[in-house]
Amino acid sequence: MNKKKLLTLSLAASLALSATAVSANTAPTQETTEKVHINKETKMPDMIYGKLTTPSNKSAKEIVFTYLEENEELYKFGKKELSNFKIVSQEKDDLGFTKLKMQQMFKGVPVFGSVINAHVDQDGVLNSVSGNLTPELYNKQSLKKGATLKADVALEKAKADLNKKIGSTPELESEVTPELVVYFQDGNANYAYSAEFEFLYPEPGNYQYFVDAKTGEILDSYNQIHEAKPSTGGQGITGSDSTGTGKGVLGDTKTFNTLTNSSGSYLVDRTRGNGIFTYDAKNRTRTPGTLWLDSDNVYNAAYDGAAVDAHAYAGQTYDYFKDVHNRNSYDGNGADLVSTVHYGRDYNNAFWSGSQMVYGDGDGNTFVPLSGALDVIAHELTHAVTDTTADLIYQNESGAINESMSDIFGTLVEFHFNNNPDWQVGEDIYTPNIAGDALRSMQDPTLSGDPDHYSKRYTGTGDYGGVHINSGISNKAAYLLANGGTHYGVSVNGIGNDKAGAIYYRTLTQYLTPNSNYSHFRVSTIQAATDLYGASSAEVASVKAAFTAVGVN
């Protein structure tokens, strides 16, 4: 997302016409190199990488801000806007890079989805700037004057629209606080109030609303039920840590951590992060429900199965991210994992509500209890990881990448624990009377009607722009990267699950940003592989081939 003033305006203009990476060198006295990737859709840079600056003892913040100042023409923003960038976080990763996550601001107001990640190495050299910025906001007449509508009025308009959409008034899980943002869509920029409504009754929802801060018009809304916000701890149960046993949904016996006191044994695991807590909704639609309590620490009743799996598989998902990627729970800070089973009656779904996991029992025909599949639980908890890292917007291509990341890590967790692993999603709990099928196949997405090539992507408005449908494109790429194969005449050498997982995890946590599309996904994954294995490595070659095989160039 940056470029140098030393690059002439004519070079910037030529870059804007390019759809592929362009190399450029700065003044010959500097040992710097730059490659600029231009996003095909926005015609703006979404990745600049290489040795972007010379070694420096300055702070990472100074290095990045100086670089952005020298590249204002490329990004089409003024110096006044540049000074308003807000540092969201600064942290050092496992490779020694200092990562700055920065939010674009306009006159002190955040620009929704406009986030960049910058990486400075141990020598004080800026190596990359990744993400999409919104250009030329200072020229937008719609932003010359600020908001005129009060936040509470905007909130009531959003509530009225939501009530009409779902047919009744939802019972909100938490108070909604509107936030003033700049909302950019289809070339139009507006001050808008952003509001998020999380509810489970009368139906599950986590709706994101944008209300014009001048007219009160609903600019956009979508259900982001798979996204997550950190939940709060403090369950308050005391007792001794112990180990329970029980039978899962499919009849297999598991051991798992519990907490015992004079009342009995609770499905509480205090050994992982801030804890894992499993509740019983008792076929109602209120959450979290009742903390699961057993008399003898042996959970073998048929009704126990859904809770046994939810509790044990949440622990395994935690262990995968902690042991393999050194991530302490989904937020990296040990957030507690809360699950509710037996939600509703014959409810054919499982989801992350925005603060916890919720599992239906299924109707016995389409699904059995959905907590019975490790890949489903890992899929949903990966949405929480995504929300606390890349925060991919749950619409269109960014939403499809969001879904695909969950499928990828759901599958990798299943392989990691050798839990009857395959490249299908949800096969263990889907259509129990039909053998061999699944919700989705990553090996062959077309089995469930999803595209396996970018040229076949869905471009309609259903499924929030195809968030589940178009996930098949990158699911196929992930399968090829791990296993190898030839697709659409392109041969890919497989690199195995472990290396593929390391690359995708770094891509998700270091380079993807809220508005990432498939073009940015490709270049981000290449950069992640480059960090891990080197620019000339076989792993980087395989990443490039995998994306090319599914038509993402």
Residue in 380, 403, 427, 539 annotated catalytic: 380
Kindly list the structural domains of the chain, giving each domain's residue range(s) and its CATH number in brackets, ordered by start: 9-132 (no CATH), 151-223 (3.10.450.40), 240-385 (3.10.170.10), 396-549 (1.10.390.10)
Q: Comparing C-alpha atoms, which of 476, 468, 500, 509 is closest to residue 384?
A: 509
Of the candidate ranges 36-45, 344-353, 370-379, 447-456, the one whose mean pLDDT is the lowest? 36-45
Distances (CA, A) of 243 to 246, 269, 271, 416: 10, 9, 11, 22
Q: What is the pLDDT of residue 84?
A: 73
State how far the Cα of 389 lies from the Cα of 527, in Å rounded to an integer. Answer: 17
DSSP 195-245: EEEEEEESS-EEEEEEEETTT--EEEEEE-TT---PPP------SEEEEEE
Distances (CA, A) of 167 to 35, 130, 372: 51, 41, 32
Predicted confidence (pLDDT) at residue 242 exceeds the cutoff of 70 = yes
Q: Name the residue type at position 415.
A: F
Q: What is the pLDDT averaged over residues 485-490? A: 98
Give the three-class secondary structure for 536. coil
DSSP 280-329: E-TTSS-SS-EE-EESSSEE-SGGGHHHHHHHHHHHHHHHHHHHHH---S
Predicted confidence (pLDDT) at residue 229 exceeds the cutoff of 50 = no
**Mean pLDDT of the chain, nearest integer:** 91
| Confidence band, pLDDT 50/70/90 cuts, at residue 27 | very low
State how far the Cα of 486 lies from the Cα of 500, in Å rounded to an integer. Answer: 17
Residue in 37, 468, 487, 520 annotated catalytic: 468
DSSP 413-425: HHHHTTSS--SEE
Give the three-class secondary structure for 442. coil
Predicted confidence (pLDDT) at residue 519 exceeds the cutoff of 70 = yes
State how far the Cα of 323 lies from the Cα of 328, in Å rounded to an integer. Answer: 9
The rounded percent of the chain whose pLDDT value lies above 70 is 92
The pair of structure tokens assigned to 170 is: 């939802």
Q: What is the pLDDT of residue 226?
A: 63
Q: What is the pLDDT of residue 203?
A: 85
State how far the Cα of 434 lies from the Cα of 431, in Å rounded to an integer. Answer: 5
State how far the Cα of 400 lies from the Cα of 388, in Å rounded to an integer. Answer: 17
Give the three-class secondary structure for 59. coil
Torsion of CA 498, 499, 505, 510, to 10 degrees: 160
Predicted confidence (pLDDT) at residue 450 exceeds the cutoff of 70 = yes
Query: Tens digit of pLDDT for each residue in 267-326?
Result: 999 999 999 999 999 999 888 999 999 999 999 999 999 999 999 999 999 999 999 999
Q: What is the pLDDT averaged over residues 135-157? A: 93
Find tokens 């019983």 and name the residue: 280
State how far the Cα of 104 lies from the Cα of 117, in Å rounded to an integer. Answer: 11
Q: What is the pLDDT averaged over residues 417-424? A: 97
Q: What's 97's DSSP letter?
A: P
More confident residue, 70 or 313: 313
Angle between helices 538-549 and 471-483 (to 10 degrees): 140
Q: What is the pLDDT averaged over residues 140-155? A: 95
Instruction: Encode 322-344 in three state secondary structure.
Output: HHHHCCCCCCCCCCCEEEEEEEC
What are the φ and ψ backbone dihedral angles of 421, each rounded to 5 degrees? -75, 145
Query: Tens digit of pLDDT for each residue in 172-202?
Result: 988 999 999 999 998 899 999 999 999 988 8
E strand map for 79-121: 86-92, 98-106, 109-120
The pair of structure tokens assigned to 525 is: 């994954």
Distances (CA, A) of 333 to 137, 288, 322, 388, 391: 35, 22, 11, 10, 16
Predicted confidence (pLDDT) at residue 254 exceeds the cutoff of 90 = yes
CB atoms within 10 A of CB 12: 20
State how far the Cα of 518 lies from the Cα of 203, in Å rounded to an integer. Answer: 32
Of the candidate ranges 2-16, 305-319, 360-374, 406-420, the one whose mean pLDDT is the lowest? 2-16
The pair of structure tokens assigned to 389 is: 């890292």
| Confidence band, pLDDT 50/70/90 cuts, at residue 42 | confident
Q: Is 196 annotated as catalytic?
A: no
Q: What is the pLDDT of residue 257?
A: 98
Q: Is 175 annotated as catalytic?
A: no
Q: What is the pLDDT of residue 314?
A: 98
Predicted confidence (pLDDT) at residue 244 exceeds the cutoff of 90 = yes
Q: What is the pLDDT averaged over residues 120-147? A: 93
State how far the Cα of 32 lies from the Cα of 24, in Å rounded to an integer. Answer: 9
Q: What is the pLDDT averaged over residues 328-340? A: 97
Give the DSSP H or E segment for 154.
Answer: helix 151-166
The pair of structure tokens assigned to 506 is: 């770094």
| Confidence band, pLDDT 50/70/90 cuts, at residue 71 | confident
State how far the Cα of 514 lies from the Cα of 390, in Å rounded to an integer. Answer: 6
Distances (CA, A) of 52 to 3, 71, 101, 291: 9, 11, 17, 53
State how far the Cα of 442 lies from the Cα of 170, in Å rounded to an integer. Answer: 36
CA-atom Rg of the chain in angstroms: 24
